[in-house]
A and B are shown apart, each in its own frame.
Chain A
Amino acid sequence: MESLNFDRRAFLQLGALATLSFLSPWQALAQDATALAGASSKSVIVLWLAGGPSQFDTFDPKPGTKQGGKTRAIKTRAKGIELADHFPLLAEEMESVSLIRSLVTPEGEHERGTYLLRTGYRPVPTVVHPSLGAVVAKELAAKDLDIPAHFAIEVQNFGPPKGGLLGADLDAASVGDPKGGLPALKIERLDERLEDRTVVDAAFAEGRGARVSETNHAQLADRVARTIRSPRLKAFDYKEEPASLVARYGDSPFGRGCLVARRLIEQGVKTVEVELGGWDSHTGNYEAHKKNAAILDPAFATLIKDLRERNMLENTIVLCLGEFGRSPAINRLEGRDHFSKGFSCAIAGGGFKGGTVIGETDVEGEKAPTEPVSPGDLFATIYTALGIDFTKENVSRLGRPIAIAEGKPVRKLLA
């Protein structure tokens, strides 16, 4: 929790107090979250696989071929769908999960690819497109939610997802490994200090007028005050959960992040991105994927199951993807290089059908996949499932109208 400067000692006191109550105020809050004025019941959790995972060693195995490498395939609960053998737990949940095996993008470089798969748009010099999370937070969050509606957990590559032309206020609030639980954020004499602050700002605004209020610092200071006082931040105190459940998510920053993501959604947060890095396997591809899958598989599978058991899955989209896939050819260092012309993502919940597969890749990777899906199509599908009109235009600083997404929804995926 370094990035928020949370003081653990004070938080522990808070946690101790909460357990004294017979009916945790936490539970009451959770029921309350969806009742927040103007809030949609729908939310998104993104499991971001930074570096670009290999489709052949995750969601699109090709056993017994030169391109498929050492990875084998296993059957899943969903008839006819196979996964790489690194994912035995996810295989059990596949009736709830669908796969797109035909993502095609023009970006094969990490930063540009990350931008594209976070926003649905290719990077251009003149505008910063809003990330999926920022759009969802803006469109679906309750106006009076007293914590950020957009969180990023353990995001290390290229910074947390941005609000872009929707404003920095919609940037994801970025936190590290939630290990240790929630932070205490008490500031001494905060009301007095905030009042003192307005006196200083008033003096500076003389003769400078709107230029001072446009800086947004005052609003941010008020939002910080509301956030740090919000009991909803107890979402980070994942140790309130049964120890067995915590263990099933996995003893990893990513596993804890996924559990905290669920708890944040219960509190009215609309979108959480949890990052798992280490997929950029230019060397030793098989071992890298085996190791990462051992973290991803329990966390992803437990998240789906946990959401289902809490009746949250039908309202919560879980999207698992990276910035691109990896080459069919295995290089001399047993690695796979970047590849963006036919790779996979997994998607579940929130109005998506389970057990469906879109697209088929050619085993040599030479031919384009069938039913190709662009990032714009993927985003249009997600926004449709969320009830967001993706053709709605936001206006850039230079006055250019930009649609929330440019693409065609993949109707076959929607329930």
Chain B
Amino acid sequence: MIDLLPVPQDRFHCPCGAAELVVDGFSLPGMMPLARAGCPACGRRFACHLHVGFCSSASLMVEEASGEIANSMAPDWYAWELQQMWQSRGRPAPAVEIRGQPIADGRDVVIVNTLDPTYGHNIARMFAVPSVRSFNPDAAIVVIASRFMAWLTPDCADQIWVVDAPLRELHLANDTVDAMAAELARRAARLRYSPLFYSLAVRIEDFTKIDPFDATSMDDVLPARMAFNWREDRCWTQAGRPLPPDQAVAEQLRLTTLLFETLRREISDLEVTVTGYGRSGSFPGWVEDLRILEQTDEAEREWVRRYARSHLVMGMHGSHMHLPSAHAAGGIEIVPTAYWATAAETWEWVNHNSAQHALQRYLKIAHSTSVSDVVSIAFMQLRRMQAGAAFRVMSRLPDAQARERLAVLAHQAIQGGYPLQVTDKDGNPI
């Protein structure tokens, strides 16, 4: 936790190499927390990123006069975002709405800033809020969140600053946030900036306020339910072949339809819901299509309610799969080659599972996987999750005959899936 008052308690060295910078103030123009500092040796001034988040062990600063990045040991992309932010100062600031309780003067306040132009990083920062609360039970917690992320703010936060900016612009300067932070600094007895990123014990229901899948009755075993989280900027194509965007979307529509229809032939009571952003094409009438173009909190809540009832959620790998996977009984992500390095980032919620359960519930398969394999794995995983639910319900039944009745009803699910072969229109396996 970094104290911001009277000036940020953080240390920086001047690129001139002759002196440590003298910190004399701070600013928070949106995503980037900055210490304002000058060099007693060379006289230059710098805006230095506090040692938090992606800079927790790396220096990163911008020279105020030239706007040039200096002393950067941060990842290149992050340094680029800082430079972009610096250059965007003075632009019309996106609106900021205050939700929650007023913060009384003289309080000890902790700021948790979740702004980031990457959705997964927003979630990762949001995951820290309950930990900040548990470490600071008496402090007022102010969460800075984007409009689409605000609904995930845990109830333990006192106030939310809701920034109405598109995701891709969340790293840019926001003078309104800066002014609000300065005002807060004037009124707070103590103001701190949370360095936390993630938390090892994330309860997803603290964020969505919706309990994840649990098997308590037969309704949780049958019928088979799955959800597919759709996106159009990263599409499932046959064996991962690269296609122009519109063709990739069309192919994804064809493959998902093939997936649903093939599974439905094996599981006659299968229920499928498609969620996500983008409304290209249409699915067979029995598929529930909840895709949208514009985010609303209620639409996302409705999706999460579906995930929490699903035995299986599927989709391309990405941060859009966090909430589906965290709520469903099991998940399958299709991972493009370039994304393996981050395939399990921001999955801290998975720690409520034992290690072995996590391995059994969540599968990540390569984009080069054949369509037949994807469909087969989905079938087997769906049945496995149903069988797991059946055994869990049975384990809660004291009466052996009741267990046997349930086993009979869930017989097909317990028997499990098997490999399926999907063919193209010429009958060739794909």
> Are A and B co-members of a single complex?
no
Interface residues of B (CB under 8 A from A): none
